[in-house]
Amino acid sequence: MSTYYSVLEVTPTNQDWVADYIGPANKLVAQYGGKYLARTNSHERLEGNGEDPALRIIIEWPSKEAAIGFMNDPGYVPHLKARTAGSVSHHSLIEAKDDLA
């Protein structure tokens, strides 16, 4: 199985969901074998244009199935809905491979 990475850009539009989100998300990420590599507002654009998100988040997953399982977990779904309702969020799932090698 390949390693996968969730790469998120999140800009909260309100803070109502944040306090209730962090604990359950942390627990479920760990339950699915995920590991936060970065959760930070310390980032800078080195190339290109556009609005920078408030937060950039990178999660390493042991498999695609683990990442999808996390996203679909009944314990996470209400928190996902709250995050997406209370933020501008973009989430990409990237397989750890080099297609150009």
Catalogue all structural domains in the chain, each as residue range(s) with its CATH number: 4-95 (3.30.70.100)
**Mean pLDDT, to the nearest integer, of 40-49?**
94
Q: Which two tokens stand for residue 72?
A: 């679909």
Question: What pLDDT sits at residue 88?
Answer: 97
pLDDT band at 53 (very low <50, low <70, confident <90, very high): very high
pLDDT band at 1; cut points 50, 70, 90: confident
Alpha carbons 86 and 89: distance in angstroms, whole number:
9
Residues 1, 30, 32, 43, CA torsion sign: negative
**pLDDT value of residue 6:** 98
List all residues 6 or more positions away from 9 whose beta carbon is below 8 Å from its beta carbon.
Answer: 53, 55, 56, 57, 89, 90
Q: What mean pLDDT, rounded, does the chain reach?
A: 97
Mean pLDDT, rounded, for 33-44 = 96
Q: What share of the chain is helix, strand, coil (3-state, %, to 5)?
A: 30, 30, 40
